[in-house]
Amino acid sequence: MTGRLWGIGVGPGDPELLTVKAHRLIEQAGTVAWFAARGRPSNARAAAARHIRPRQPELPLYYPVTTELPAGAEYEELLAGFYDEAAERIATVLDGGEDVAVLCEGDPFFYGSYMYLHNRLAGRYESEVVPGVTSLLAGAAVLGVPLVCRNETLSVLSGVLSRDELERHLVDVEAAVVMKLGRNLAKVRASVAAAGLLDRAWYVELATLPAQRVLPLAEADSSGAPYFSMVIIPSAEASTR
């Protein structure tokens, strides 16, 4: 009997936003795996820490890079090799008959690294994905402004895109969220301004965590932002109806 693979969404940071099912499977797992940048704590593990049993075996998976870069052959190859190796380390545990819970910030299938393990392992092992409260929705909740209504379209963009690509997408949006802000903040703000949306745009940092900050994007310090930050542009209609 091989073990089961569980991709567990742990929510945006507030430990109370982890689902009952996530809590049950984390406690039940033979091994708990999580991603982190080397030398930094794992955000997913921090959100789930209170559910990890004392002495429960853990499997840290340290990224080979500390910031996400625009797509390029060398970068893609480096990451593919890392995910291949991480998948095989998990496969070894599953082959030993133990269930593995992989912790994921927010939701596993929404820009989550778990998906790369899932693509490599779900065909070989019984697997289940436990959805989590995604940061996008946590961000809108802490902003306290409705995001999108009726027949409107919500656009989700990555801040890693070039300034031109961002602006091209933003000119037509009804409501938008720009993820992966961090060192892309100044570029994203310039694109939002060029698309004529700066007066509707909000900067949300560390949503649901004690150090959470929410301010108009125009007032955000453009020298940089933490990894856990995003821009939210709520629909003009949803916020006034």
CB 189 → ligand SAM: shortest distance, Å?
A: 14
From candidates 8, 129, 130, 181, binder to ligand SAM by CB under 6 A: 181
Q: Is 111 in the site for ligand SAM (CB under 6 A)?
A: yes
CB 160 → ligand SAM: shortest distance, Å?
A: 9
Q: Is 229 in the site for ligand SAM (CB under 6 A)?
A: yes
CB 224 → ligand SAM: shortest distance, Å?
A: 13
- For residue 72, the SS3 value is coil
Show contacts with ligand SAM in window 7-26 (CB under 6 A): 12-13
Q: Is 42 in the site for ligand SAM (CB under 6 A)?
A: no
Q: Is 189 in the site for ligand SAM (CB under 6 A)?
A: no
Show contacts with ligand SAM in window 112-171 (CB under 6 A): 112, 134-135, 138-139
Buried b / exposed e over 171-200, threshold 16 CB at 10 Å, is: eebbbbbbbbbbebbebbbebbbebebbeb
The DSSP 8-state label assigned to residue 29 in this structure reads -
The DSSP 8-state label assigned to residue 53 in this structure reads P
From candidates 25, 79, 201, 206, binder to ligand SAM by CB under 6 A: 206
From candidates 22, 45, 228, 232, binder to ligand SAM by CB under 6 A: 228
Question: By CB neighbour count within 10 A (0-12 exposed, 13-18 middle, 19+ buried), where does 203 fall?
Answer: buried
The per-type count for the chain, helices as H runs and strands as E runs, is: 7, 10
The DSSP 8-state label assigned to residue 106 in this structure reads B
In the complex, residue closest to ligand SAM by CB: 106
For residue 215, give the H/E element and its range.
strand 213-216
**Who contacts 120 (Cβ-Cβ below 8 Å, separation ≥6)?**
83, 84, 87
Q: 122, 110 in Cβ contact below 8 A?
A: no
Cα(first)–Cα(last) distance of the chain, in Å? Answer: 56
CB 152 → ligand SAM: shortest distance, Å?
A: 21
Q: Is 204 in the site for ligand SAM (CB under 6 A)?
A: yes
Stretch that binds ligand SAM, among 15-23, 75-83, 99-107, 183-191 (CB under 6 A): 99-107
CB 216 → ligand SAM: shortest distance, Å?
A: 16
* Residue appearing with tokens 């075996």: 57
Stretch that binds ligand SAM, among 58-66, 143-151, 173-181, 214-222 (CB under 6 A): 173-181
Give the footprint of ligand SAM on this chain (CB under 6 A).
12-13, 104-107, 110-112, 134-135, 138-139, 179-181, 204, 206-209, 227-230
